[in-house]
Structures are given as C-alpha cells and as structure tokens.
A and B are shown apart, each in its own frame.
Chain A
C-alpha cells in the first residue's frame, strides 16, 4: 500500500520494521512508513498509538530497539536531533520548546548564531537573516519581539521558522493545529503548501481529521503501535479513516443529550481586568452548556481565570445561586463548586513528575483524607474508574504522567476535574490533542454532568465542538463579550464574523444589571 505512488522516486524518508518499547509499554511494533519528496504525509491514530514516538525516533530524540531508517535512499543512524538536522530533518514538537525570555530571531538561531571572529555574535546578520526567513515564509512577526508575549499560534510559527532555518528536506509537525484557530490554520497550510512546492516533504500528525483532505496527500493510520495502512487523503472518507483508527465506527461526533434547563447557578457581572477583559457579563444555568467562541487572544481563557480567582480582577462580581461570592483564589472557587480545566496541560494542568493517581486526585484529595492521612484504597478506586471511563492508556496507576502520550495526559486533567463534582465546570479547550473516539467519551461525560444538574462553560477554538455541544453561544472579541446567541441563531458564518469583529456586537450594556 505504501508503494507504487511514484515508482522510481527515491523516498525522502523510509522507516522499515521499527520497534520501540518502554518499561511496561510497547510503543511501536514493526512500523513501516514512507514519505515521498514534496509530499504532505499525515499520520493519525488514537492517543498512545505511537505517533509521537515514531517522530521522536526519526528526529533522533530516542533510539529504536530495532529496525532501519533511510533518508533519501541512504541508511542512516540518527543519534541526536543535531544529527537529524544535519540530515535535513526538522521537527516542531507537540509541546512547544522556545525560550520565553529571548526574542524571535534569537530563538530561531539559538545555538547557531552567525558569528564574527572570536565567537562574537554578528547581531545585524542575525536579525537580517531572521527577517528574511520570516518574510520568505510569509510570517508577519517582528524578529525583535520577545517570545514570552506571543500567542500560541505565533509561537508555533516561530518554531516552524526555526525548523526551516536549516535547509530541511523533511519537516515533522506533531499536532501543529491543535491550538490554532481557523484563520491561523489557513495561514499554516499556506506555508506548508509553499514548502511542498519547494520540494520539502512534510510529516504531519493531527487529530483533526476534517482537515486532512485539504492539506495531506496520503494518510498513514496507526493503532496500538502498529501501522494499519496508508491511504490516499483526498479519496478516503473520514468515517473510513475513523474505522481504521479505532477499529469500529463512531456514529455521532457530538452526542448531545438535552436536559431541562434549570435555575441560574452562576452569573458574572462586569468582569474586568484592564487591557485583557472588559466588562464581561453572562450567566450559566443548571443543565446548560454555554459555548464560548473567539479568536486566540480574545480574552476567553482570561475570563475563565478571573472567574475562579486564578488572576486578580479589577472589577466585577460573581453571583452563585443568587448570592454574591467573593472568589479570591481557586481554592475558594472549588469550595463554591466552580472548577476550571485550564487550557495548557503541561503548565497548568498536570504535576508531571507525579503518578497518574496523584494527579487524578489532586483537586479532591480532601475526600480521601481522614485525620490528614490519604486513604489509598479509596483513592485507587476513584483513579481506576477514570482510567477506565476515559480509557486512559497507562500501564498502571503509579505511572508518571510525564511518560503518558499527549492525549492521555489531557485525559488525566479531564478526569481530575470530572471527579470534583463541580456545580459549574469551565472547560478551556478540553479536547485538545484527544482522538475522535475519546472526544465522544468526553462529550458523554459532559452530558452526565448536566444531567446531574451542573452547568458547563465550554471554551473552544474548534467551532464544530462549540456549535455541536452548546445551548447558547457567547462570542468574545478583543476582550469584550460581543454576542450571546441562542444555539439556533449561531451559524458558523455569524460566529466567525462576530469573533473577527466584522459583524457589530449584538450585545448592549442593557444586558447587565
């Protein structure tokens, strides 16, 4: 299946019979993969299927236990990322890896700064080169901009620029679109198509199957450490891809259960943090899922953080069950029944060196504690339940979350918050990096929550998710709430227009009291 696409063409990359085990996990078993020159080759599969592991091997981050790798027809041993880059292989990781304190240009050329005699860095050349590279890639960024303040999308652009500052023949992208909005994805695809025209091959991991026909030439599907097959991206329907991935069909992508909407549980009024969030007011009722759309940087995550007291607000009040509650810290929010599932699992969601069970119980440890002592049996039972319900792929409950695959890490964060019996759960990008099958499980958990009388605020950059799951849709633009639409009036076009500021706000200040 992998052959015969273009006979006689030497593949840019050939992976043959590669296997890799970690203690307790067989991550890859006899994997084959072939990437042709100028091909955009997608790799898909369930969480923990081995996609990232395969890419790390090709990029020299880890070594396979057995198998062979050829780059442009030559058998190679890739011992480190530096060797990979010398061979023309570049990679943008699933988790971004820039130095926040340095500017764009210095990040791009980190460790390879153009230098004059005596190792003195040639600063003018550095910024000139960086400027030229960014222009060539069509990335509108100032080389002197410090990375810390950039949006995730822009950081990703910097990573891509860095990867391409080597004369790369193969660019590996591990879930590049998982934190991008539609517009930014379009921008990324334009860059990838330009590269393709220039003969660069792209290996591309994604859980967003709907984007594959648009960007990819071929798709390789992985399951349980095996390659299931390689198919044509344009002619293969998405349901067929899903069946290859999970071994069964998924009939409904957004299984939304409707329950009667009850009383108002949470209302915020005039929530403000100067320069980020201005005068935001809305409410959430029992049994209701309120979606929140907007571009990256529109202030959605910040709004969520203000509600739970993770950041200090300048103005505004929070009303829970009709009573004003002063929420000064996340601990107070949780005690009041309001929980936030944060957007960045590594920075805000997980304690990486700790085991799965400790992470799952971090928000609810009180329930398992008597006389200050944690009762292991009860905690294990809870952890076991979430590992099963969310199908978290882990060898055991004591496995460090650092060693889980990205999507399985996300499931641990989800489990932690689902187990906290919140009255209102704020989900910030809950399904980022999660495979199709597992997404449905997450939506089922949401249904469970509202059936039990909780309310949900669902922040997501995936419009289909917001539209598929919400009763009402809030739209934010530049720190302000610009719309509060019933589901029926929230068409994709309308939401996009509102989010980008093309349609005027449909909210007036009459809305808050």
Chain B
C-alpha cells in the first residue's frame, strides 16, 4: 500500500482535521490496522516464534528465513504485475524449472542445438531468454486468442513442464562452475538470493509506482475497456507483462538451481501457488487494479517465517501445510474486510 495506489486516506482526513467527529477518529484507527494489518501479522508471528524458540531470533536463522523467502519473492513479483492486470500466471513454476534446466545444460554441454561451449554468465542469459520466451508466448496466446489467462497458463504449466522433461530426458543436471553457484552464496553475511530479490523488488516497486508501464498495469486491471478507449495499447502491454513475469520466473529458477547445485526436471513444482498466495496476502486483488510490491514481499516473508518457525518448533510437515493454508485464508479474509 506504500505504493500509493491506495488513496491516502490519511491525507484525506488530515484536510478535514478536527472537522471529523468521533467516526473519523475511529476510522483512522481501523484504517491504520487494515493498512498495516499484514505487517502486524508478520510481527505477531515473529513474536510467537521468538517466544517459543530461542533460535528463531538469532541472526543466522533470520538470514535463513530471508534465503528461504527469496525465490518465492522473485516469482511473486512477476505474479504481482500479472494479477494487477486481472490476469494470472499458473506456469511460473514450470517456467522456473525449464529456465534452470536450460541454463544448467548450457553450462555443462554448451549452447542448445549448436553445442558450442560458453561461460556461465552466457548460460544464465540463455536461461533467462527461455523464461522470456515462455512468458511472451503466454501473453500472445492470451491477447490474440482471447482465452482467459487461467486456462492459457494452466495449459502452459503442463506444456512447459513437459518440455523440461523432454529436454532433460528426465535426468537431473549438475556440476556447475563456482562462479555460478556463488549466485546462491553470501555477500557479507547476507545471502545473495536475498539481495537479488531485494534489488528486483525495489525495481518492481519503482516501475509500478512511477512509470507508464506501472500506470497502465493498474489501468488495464481496473477497467480494460476504459483503458483501451483511452488509447492504451492494451494487448501490447499485456504481452509485455506476461513476458516480464516469465523473466522473473526464469531468474527464480536459475537462483534455485545455483542454490541446490542441481537442475531437476521436477524442480519448482507448486511454486505458482506460493507466489499467488504471497501476492494475494499482500493485498493484490484478483479482480485487478490494486496491489503493491511491499505487500507481496511481506506476504512471501510471512509464508517463509511460518515454515521456518514451525520447523523450529518441530511441527510435523503435515500440520505445516494445514497452518499455511489457514493463514492464507485468514489474510485474504482480512483483505475482503478492508475492501468494505
């Protein structure tokens, strides 16, 4: 909400100042709670875990939470753009896997098709390009065939996973140069993936808040027909946004590959759900036109904190699933309430 698309209820009230009687003051408190409710949820969660586990608040553990959140944050940033346009991209997990796989094979056996050996940064670029192409394809199908994004990307989820399995022959790929695995190392004490996620988050927030691409993203999601009649080249921007989402998924897949030191054809499956959960918990509306990067990042941090904390408390994996699901529903219920 710090992205300013939420109209500043505060400044609106400030103008009236003392004019607004009791109701105004009460609504200021509620406004605050609703606006920062998701932050409070994160803090509360942290407090509970800190109280129950001596390890939780140690800096190593907090950095571990950051590391665990990083890949999801990267995927969810792209998802945020797409969902603000009232779309969805279910193929991001598959796209991450394919991109990671393409980067990995390029590193070990050279460029696809031609087989010329290249340095690892070039391999990373090839992986990125793969994600870009997948996103571009989704965008083109969505806009030219006028099929809903849900269906298109559900199809792409399967198509891209299939491609990954075919391309890899179902076998994992490993053995990477150190420069590449350093992508998942640390800079100072901070995990490099967290830094990458942070930089991408700042760029995304800037783009959404201050650029024409950002404005059009909100406008397309808020009322596509009005945007079109206002001269916004809606199809072109939608394609750009799905492409962007594919690129983010590719970055996530590559970082994941570096961290695990192996590219698995089944990697990152289900990541689309975590990304959607983080985005929606962060206040992005599935109906489009509303959402912020800050919200999404906090949503992803909540999911990571929950997993980490429940692990520390030795809660069984089955119960973790249950708890995470409940928290997602709770967070979105809170958001529905906010809309009133």
Q: Would you call B27 and A23 a contact (CB within 8 A)?
A: yes
CA distance A376 to B206 in the complex (A): 13
Besides A25-B12, A350-B223, 19 more A-B contacts (Cβ < 8 Å) are A24-B12, A24-B15, A24-B20, A25-B16, A308-B229, A330-B231, A331-B231, A347-B225, A353-B285, A353-B290, A354-B218, A354-B289, A358-B218, A362-B219, A362-B226, A369-B212, A374-B214, A396-B12, A398-B7
Set A347, A351, A396: member contacting B218, Cβ < 8 A:
A351
**Is B179 engaged at the interface, CB distance under 8 Å to the other chain?**
no
Q: Would you call B215 and A374 a contact (CB within 8 A)?
A: yes
CA distance A328 to B84 in the complex (A): 27
Mostly, the B contact residues are helix
Q: List 8 A-B contacts (CB under 8 A).
A: A65-B21, A310-B229, A350-B223, A352-B222, A353-B290, A354-B222, A374-B211, A376-B210
Residue on A nearest B223 in the bound complex, by CB: A351
Q: Mark A344-363, 1 if CB is under 8 A from B, else 0.
A: 00011111111100100011
- Residues of B3-30 at the interface with A, using a CB-CB cut-off of 8 Å, are 4-5, 7-9, 11-13, 15-16, 19-21, 23-24, 27-28
Set B20, B21, B28, B222: member contacting A353, Cβ < 8 A:
B222
**Is B230 engaged at the interface, CB distance under 8 Å to the other chain?**
yes
**Is B109 engaged at the interface, CB distance under 8 Å to the other chain?**
no
Knowing A24-B13, A398-B4, the reply to whether A342 touches B229 (Cβ < 8 A) is: yes
Q: Would you call B289 and A23 a contact (CB within 8 A)?
A: no
Q: Mark B204-240, 1 if CB is under 8 A from A, else 0.
A: 0000001111111011001101111111110000000
**Is A124 engaged at the interface, CB distance under 8 Å to the other chain?**
no
Residue on B nearest A334 in the bound complex, by CB: B231
**Is B31 engaged at the interface, CB distance under 8 Å to the other chain?**
yes
**Is A373 engaged at the interface, CB distance under 8 Å to the other chain?**
yes
How many B residues have CB within 8 A of the partner chain?
41
**Is A144 engaged at the interface, CB distance under 8 Å to the other chain?**
no
A-side contacts of B215, CB under 8 Å:
358, 362, 365, 374
Give the shortest distance, in Å, between B98 (CB) and chain A (any CB).
29
Q: Would you call A24 and B218 a contact (CB within 8 A)?
A: no
Residue on B nearest A379 in the bound complex, by CB: B215
A-side contacts of B12, CB under 8 Å:
23-25, 395-396, 398-399
Q: Would you call A24 and B16 a contact (CB within 8 A)?
A: yes
Q: Would you call B20 and A330 a contact (CB within 8 A)?
A: no
**Is A423 engaged at the interface, CB distance under 8 Å to the other chain?**
no
Knowing A352-B222, A398-B11, the reply to whether A330 touches B27 (Cβ < 8 A) is: no
Set A25, A348, A363: member contacting B225, Cβ < 8 A:
A348
Q: Would you call B219 and A330 a contact (CB within 8 A)?
A: no
Q: Would you call A330 and B11 a contact (CB within 8 A)?
A: no
Set A65, A363, A373, A374: member contacting B230, Cβ < 8 A:
A363
B-side contacts of A362, CB under 8 Å:
215, 219, 226-227, 230, 232
CA distance A162 to B33 in the complex (A): 39
Q: Would you call A351 and B227 a contact (CB within 8 A)?
A: yes
Residue on B nearest A416 in the bound complex, by CB: B230
CA distance A329 to B234 in the complex (A): 10
Binding site for B on A (CB under 8 A): 21, 23-26, 65, 308, 310, 329-331, 333-335, 340, 342, 347-355, 358, 362-363, 365-366, 369, 372-374, 376, 395-396, 398-400, 416
B-side contacts of A398, CB under 8 Å:
4, 7-8, 11-12
CA distance A310 to B219 in the complex (A): 17
B-side contacts of A374, CB under 8 Å:
210-212, 214-215
Set A23, A331, A365: member contacting B212, Cβ < 8 A:
A365
Give the shortest distance, in Å, between B293 (CB) and chain A (any CB).
16
Knowing A351-B218, A398-B11, the reply to whether A21 touches B24 (Cβ < 8 A) is: yes
CA distance A366 to B233 in the complex (A): 12
Q: Which 7 residue pairs spanning A and B have beta carbons closest together?
A: A24-B12, A351-B222, A334-B231, A353-B289, A363-B230, A362-B230, A331-B231
Q: Would you call A354 and B13 a contact (CB within 8 A)?
A: no
Q: Mark B130-153, 1 if CB is under 8 A from A, else 0.
A: 000000000000000000000000
B-side contacts of A342, CB under 8 Å:
226, 229
Q: Would you call B232 and A372 a contact (CB within 8 A)?
A: no
B-side contacts of A358, CB under 8 Å:
215, 218-219
CA distance A318 to B286 in the complex (A): 40
CA distance A130 to B24 in the complex (A): 45
B-side contacts of A376, CB under 8 Å:
210
CA distance A65 to B231 in the complex (A): 42
Residue on A nearest B31 in the bound complex, by CB: A23
Knowing A374-B210, A398-B4, the reply to whether A23 touches B13 (Cβ < 8 A) is: yes
CA distance A301 to B327 in the complex (A): 49
Q: Would you call B222 and A23 a contact (CB within 8 A)?
A: no
CA distance A363 to B226 in the complex (A): 10
B-side contacts of A363, CB under 8 Å:
230-231
Q: Would you call A340 and B289 a contact (CB within 8 A)?
A: no
Q: Mark B264-280, 1 if CB is under 8 A from A, else 0.
A: 00000000000000000
Q: Would you call A349 and B226 a contact (CB within 8 A)?
A: yes
A-side contacts of B289, CB under 8 Å:
351-354
Knowing A24-B16, A351-B289, A399-B12, the reply to whether A331 touches B232 (Cβ < 8 A) is: yes
Q: Would you call B226 and A310 a contact (CB within 8 A)?
A: no
Residue on A nearest B235 in the bound complex, by CB: A329
Q: Would you call A348 and B229 a contact (CB within 8 A)?
A: yes
CA distance A151 to B218 in the complex (A): 30
Q: Would you call A396 and B231 a contact (CB within 8 A)?
A: no
Residue on B nearest A20 in the bound complex, by CB: B23
Q: Would you call A373 and B211 a contact (CB within 8 A)?
A: yes
Q: Would you call B223 and A331 a contact (CB within 8 A)?
A: no
B-side contacts of A331, CB under 8 Å:
231-233
Give the shortest distance, in Å, between B160 (CB) and chain A (any CB).
30
Give the shortest distance, in Å, between A224 (CB) and chain B (any CB).
13
CA distance A362 to B225 in the complex (A): 12
B-side contacts of A365, CB under 8 Å:
212, 215-216
Q: Would you call A396 and B15 a contact (CB within 8 A)?
A: yes
CA distance A333 to B16 in the complex (A): 42
Most interface-central of B23, B212, B215, B226 (chain A CB within 10 A) = B226
Knowing A351-B289, A362-B232, A395-B12, the reply to whether A26 touches B19 (Cβ < 8 A) is: yes
Q: Would you call B212 and A354 a contact (CB within 8 A)?
A: no
Residue on A nearest B231 in the bound complex, by CB: A334
Residue on B nearest A308 in the bound complex, by CB: B229
Q: Would you call A21 and B20 a contact (CB within 8 A)?
A: yes
Give the shortest distance, in Å, between A218 (CB) and chain B (any CB).
31
Q: Would you call A21 and B23 a contact (CB within 8 A)?
A: yes
CA distance A350 to B219 in the complex (A): 9
Residue on B nearest A332 in the bound complex, by CB: B231
Most interface-central of B12, B19, B21, B210 (chain A CB within 10 A) = B12
Set B15, B211, B227: member contacting A395, Cβ < 8 A:
B15
Q: Would you call A355 and B7 a contact (CB within 8 A)?
A: yes
Q: Would you call B229 and A340 a contact (CB within 8 A)?
A: yes
Residue on A nearest B9 in the bound complex, by CB: A23
A-side contacts of B285, CB under 8 Å:
353
CA distance A369 to B9 in the complex (A): 27
CA distance A342 to B27 in the complex (A): 36
Give the shortest distance, in Å, between B1 (CB) and chain A (any CB).
12
A-side contacts of B11, CB under 8 Å:
396, 398
Give the shortest distance, in Å, between A348 (CB) and chain B (any CB).
5
B-side contacts of A351, CB under 8 Å:
218-219, 222-223, 226-227, 289
